[in-house]
Amino acid sequence: MTQPVDTLFAGALVVTMDESERLFEDGSVAIRDGEIVAVGRRADLAHLESRETVDAAGKLLMPGLVNSHVHMADSLFRSLVEDLPLEPWLERLWISERAFVTHDNVELGARLALVEMIRCGTTTALDMFWFPEAGADAAVAAGFRLLTGPIFFDFEGPDGIAKEDRVSVGEAWLDKYADQPLIIPCVQPHNHITVSPEGMQAARRMADDAGVLFHTHCSETSTEVRQTQERFGRTPVGHLDDLGILDGPAVLAHCVHLTDDDFSRLQRTGAAAIHNPLSNLKLGSGIAPVARLLEEGVPVIVGTDGPVSSNDLDMWTAMRFAGLLQRGANQDPLLTPARDVVRMVTSVGAEALGLGDSIGRITEGRRADMILIDLDRPHLTPMFDPYAHLVYAVGRDDVRSVMIDGRFVMRDRALPTLDEETVLADVGLLAEKIRAHAATIGTA
């Protein structure tokens, strides 16, 4: 007699995203100690004894969404700076960041982002922000799976860390979080304009020494491409590649402007492109050549970017734009099939972030990061193709329950690990100060 499982989801439409991408119409999934231990037809798992059975009839169960590029605590500045191109927009944003980015405020902004992301069905995110320990601690408290880690800038930022101290501070950070459950450390210089070639290479070495992922912005705007050409005589991708940055695991946010040579470099090195369609559109940066990246075999994953550039952290909108943009831009309705888009935010997303063995698929041996979606909605009825629904019709309000590592972080829309009311009230108080400060510098 096998020991009972902890949780049994019974009777769902299970979209596994496993190796053969099986679907179970009347399926069940069993979880023990945070791990998926059985997946199959309900009838085949009916013999399992379970401490708790969740009636999932009329619902869709799928892997939790992976948001591959976010700046969580920028949630504090949502809609503060609008209608500017990236470079002046960043300069303006950084004035407010310098005034309000403290450890405690970053933790508060992270909690707000976590509430939003969990409600959306996101179970893993890659976050780049000042005071990465504040984001990490907020994620641990919320039971959320987060990739984050030391950031690099050549100037002293709100964290007060001098350029020459970033390596030692970063190494201590990586040590501290090396064995923290749910936190996956990575190294993340902002980009190759704000960080010197030496700084980029130091960050790469740090990532290699710790055996962690390297994450940076790359080829976001045509201005950045021009500056890179002027300063280094090569494209952003060519610059990173020539510096040896792409020799180890790397994920590059944006990749909007790419040359033929860039495509072959990405293909050769295996670096993944993080597509942030909303942010690229809103800042007028362009449309990333996702269809061609896929055609060339470059892994494409999806992020929302921060809530100042794309205003919310809604992965369903990001998925929908990722699915639609290529078709419109190329006048080709066969590009980016819905199932490819679902892969970008589940199985492929997890693999590109180095988590392919632990999450991204509903299959035995993976950690139980899963979401339950209500299907009894007018905009989801009827359903002949679940992948098309997930990309073109499902929205964040359809997400009913969210499990991370076998633990419910949202259950029937209640959040057991976060005090949403307090978070919203605290952010409201801080926003009054941010508004007053912005008024003094004549921008609000």
Q: Which amino acid is at 33?
A: D
Which is nearer to Zn ion, 67 or 123 (by Cβ)? 67
- Closest contact distance (angstroms) between CB of 279 and Zn ion is 7
**How do beta strands 23-32 and 59-63 pair?**
unpaired
Q: Specify the residue for token string 């801080």.
A: 430
Which is nearer to Zn ion, 262 or 305 (by Cβ)? 305
Which is nearer to Zn ion, 67 or 347 (by Cβ)? 67
Tokens representing residue 237 in the block: 């991708």
Which is nearer to Zn ion, 38 or 90 (by Cβ)? 90
Which is nearer to Zn ion, 18 or 305 (by Cβ)? 305
State the DSSP string of 2-13.
PPPEEEEEEEEE
Which is nearer to Zn ion, 224 or 305 (by Cβ)? 305
User: How many H-runs (helices) and E-runs (strands) does the chain carry?
Assistant: 16, 17
- Closest contact distance (angstroms) between CB of 305 and Zn ion is 5
- Closest contact distance (angstroms) between CB of 274 and Zn ion is 9
State the DSSP string of 41-63.
EHHHHTT--EEEEEE-TTEEEEE
How far is Cα 39 from Cα 46, in angstroms, rounded to an integer? 11
Which is nearer to Zn ion, 345 or 372 (by Cβ)? 345
Give the end-to-end CA distance of the chain in Å, rounded to a whole number. 67
- Point out the residue whose Cβ comes nearest to Zn ion: 305
State the DSSP string of 94-143.
HHHHHHH--HHHHHHHHHHHHHHHHHHTEEEEEE--SSHHHHHHHHHHHT
How far is Cα 109 from Cα 44, in angstroms, rounded to an integer? 45
How far is Cα 161 from Cα 309, in angstroms, rounded to an integer? 25
- Closest contact distance (angstroms) between CB of 254 and Zn ion is 8
How far is Cα 243 from Cα 269, in angstroms, rounded to an integer? 13
Which is nearer to Zn ion, 180 or 223 (by Cβ)? 223
Taking a C-beta distance cutoff of 8 angstroms, is the pair 16, 22 a contact?
Answer: yes
State the DSSP string of 364-418.
TTSB--EEEEE--SGGG-S-S-HHHHHHHT--GGGEEEEEETTEEEEBTTB-TT-
- Closest contact distance (angstroms) between CB of 313 and Zn ion is 12
Tokens representing residue 315 in the block: 């992965």
Q: Which amino acid is at 161?
A: I
- The residues, ordered by sequence, that sit 6+ positions from 168 with a Cβ below 8 Å of its Cβ are none
- Closest contact distance (angstroms) between CB of 252 and Zn ion is 11
Which is nearer to Zn ion, 301 or 415 (by Cβ)? 301
- Closest contact distance (angstroms) between CB of 166 and Zn ion is 19
- Closest contact distance (angstroms) between CB of 78 and Zn ion is 15
- Closest contact distance (angstroms) between CB of 70 and Zn ion is 8
How far is Cα 226 from Cα 224, in angstroms, rounded to an integer? 5
Distance from chain centroid for Cα 108? 19
Tokens representing residue 199 in the block: 């700084």
Which is nearer to Zn ion, 16 or 216 (by Cβ)? 216
- Closest contact distance (angstroms) between CB of 191 and Zn ion is 9
Long-range pairs for 89-94: beta carbons < 8 A, 24 or more residues apart? 89/283, 89/309, 92/443, 93/308
Which is nearer to Zn ion, 137 or 305 (by Cβ)? 305
- Closest contact distance (angstroms) between CB of 303 and Zn ion is 8
Residues of this chain that bind Zn ion (CB under 5 A): 305
